[in-house]
Amino acid sequence: MDITTLPRLLQRPDRSFFLFGPRGTGKSTWLQQVIPDALRLDLLDASLFLELSRDPHRLEALVGSEPEGNWVVLDEIQKIPALLDEVHRLMESRRWRFALCGSSARKLRRGGANLLAGRALTLSMESFSAAELVDEFNLDFALGWGLLPFVRNEPDAAADILAAYVNTYLKEELQAEGLIRNVPPFVRFLAVAGQLNGQILNMQNISREAAVARSTVDTYFAVLNDTLLGHILPPWRPGLKVREAAQPKFYWFDPGVARAAAGLLRDPIDRLWQGAALETLLYHELRVYNEISRKHRPIAYYRTPAGVEVDFVIETARRRPQKPPRVVAIEVKRSERWDRSWGKPMLSLEASAGVKVDRMIGVYCGLRSYRFDNIQVWPVKDFVKALFAGDVF
């Protein structure tokens, strides 16, 4: 079975849209599935790239006499930011619908493009969700090697595929796109960032370990974030009369890519690494659900100096006059047995004045569901099922 062709949960809109996501997550395959009859123009084609770079107006001639409402797929749109002005004109004058696919909006914005001034929706695609794989989902494999479609499709070659992914895409292609100027310091940074998956960021320490300037570290993290290769998880600071963490955490978009960046593909991974990988996996599922449901709820983590930490806090209602914010709290543990003490940080948050905790959820690697002290405890697969059924937020 070719896993890469499995149906995805993301729904195609009826109007023009951008589709961003890291390379290898299945964007082109999905577009072929949901718009099979579209005219496709791939800017990785060197001759097409040169032609449209010289004269973006030739796009109209390439599309030709397609009727109003027909779809045009432009792959790797970030390679020619100036092309968006022509897309905008053709959307208005010819009423064509465009699917604009790329790995990042960073270069488009830097090139002065306005992302069509809101005339196109923006969608994100990541690695497979466990909800998409269903019976094909294997937790142990996902923790060690991630959920990229081509990795999942060739599990025996996972290490080689991920090594090539980091060596070619994260190093060479990011440089080719003009997102990084000098490869050696970026390679040093990647190794450090890989080891920091799921950790609170101390930029000064990272600067020292990677031997690059502090400002460069900030730029590199911004590149990973803008290309959706990594995600900054902010601290939640509701001001509950205690000091709260102010530094963000960083998660790679995929546990396997994090392992490759850290240089651990050929080494066995310990329980500590697996714990961070499980958090990475659950954060991935939360983001995918946020995207396909179009809820876009803010996700953060919560920590105080006293050691009270909740892995994920999803804000379901903002603070308003006379009304506290409402949240869902989630604690994740890489264990086959749930220890009731792990729920104490969520119970502590629930007892705080100034916040309303709607739900407290524990996620672990066991087989049974439990309910302790208003905390719903689910195995990973049960949590994913509840999440995509809309039962979490």
In a domain, 212, yes or no: yes
- Which residues make beta-bridge pairs with 220? none
The letter for the amino acid at 248 is P
Residue 55 three-state SS: coil
Nearest CA to 382 out of 83, 131, 59 is that of 131
In a domain, 222, yes or no: yes
Whether 356 and 238 have beta carbons less than 8 Å apart is answered as no
User: Which residue, 95, 124, 153, sits at the end of a domain?
Assistant: 124
In a domain, 279, yes or no: no
Q: Please give the pLDDT value at position 183.
A: 83
| 134 lies in the same domain as 268 | yes
| 35 lies in the same domain as 104 | yes
What's the token pair of residue 176?
């080719």
Whether 359 and 392 have beta carbons less than 8 Å apart is answered as yes
Rounded distance, CA 302 to CA 313, Å?
7
Distance of CA 104 to the CA centre of its chain: 12
Helix, strand, coil % in the chain, rounded to nearest 5:
45, 20, 35
User: Which residue, 93, 124, 155, sits at the end of a domain?
Assistant: 124
Residue 150 three-state SS: helix
* Cα Rg, the chain, nearest whole Å: 22
CA torsion sign for 104, 149, 249, 326 is positive
Q: Any idea which residue has 């006499």 for tokens?
A: 65
Which domain, by its residues, includes 379? 287-388
Low-confidence ranges of the chain (pLDDT < 50): none
**Domain count of the chain?**
3
| 137 lies in the same domain as 120 | no
Rounded distance, CA 13 to CA 6, Å?
19
In a domain, 366, yes or no: yes
| 68 lies in the same domain as 25 | yes
| 259 lies in the same domain as 324 | no
| 242 lies in the same domain as 317 | no
- Residues 279-329 have pLDDT tens digits of 999 999 999 999 999 999 999 999 987 778 999 999 999 988 889 999 999
In a domain, 207, yes or no: yes
What CATH number is given to the structural domain containing 180?
1.10.10
What Cα–Cα distance (Å) separates residue 115 from each residue in 54, 77, 108?
21, 11, 7
Rounded distance, CA 221 to CA 197, Å?
12
- Which residues make beta-bridge pairs with 252? 230
Rounded distance, CA 76 to CA 253, Å?
20
The letter for the amino acid at 80 is I
| 270 lies in the same domain as 310 | no
| Angle made by CA atoms 368, 373, 375, in degrees to the nearest 5 | 50
Q: Any idea which residue has 């963490």 for tokens?
A: 245
| 218 lies in the same domain as 306 | no
Q: Please give the pLDDT value at position 2.
A: 85
What Cα–Cα distance (Å) separates residue 72 from each residue in 38, 100, 292?
5, 8, 22
Residue 365 three-state SS: coil
User: Which residue, 124, 142, 170, sits at the end of a domain?
Assistant: 124
Strand 249-252: give its sheet, edge to edge. 199-200, 249-252, 230-233
| 56 lies in the same domain as 185 | no
Whether 205 and 134 have beta carbons less than 8 Å apart is answered as no
| 114 lies in the same domain as 159 | no
Q: How many residues does the chain have?
A: 393
The CA-based diameter of the chain, rounded to the nearest angstrom, is: 67
> At 377, phi and psi to the nearest 5?
-110, 125
| 14 lies in the same domain as 106 | yes
In a domain, 12, yes or no: yes
What's the token pair of residue 236?
């939640």
Q: Please give the pLDDT value at position 200.
A: 95
Q: What pTM was estimated for this model as a whole?
A: 0.93
| 135 lies in the same domain as 101 | no
In a domain, 351, yes or no: yes
Q: Please give the pLDDT value at position 241.
A: 64
| Angle made by CA atoms 107, 178, 26, in degrees to the nearest 5 | 60
In a domain, 393, yes or no: no
CB atoms closer than 10 angstroms to residue 121? 14
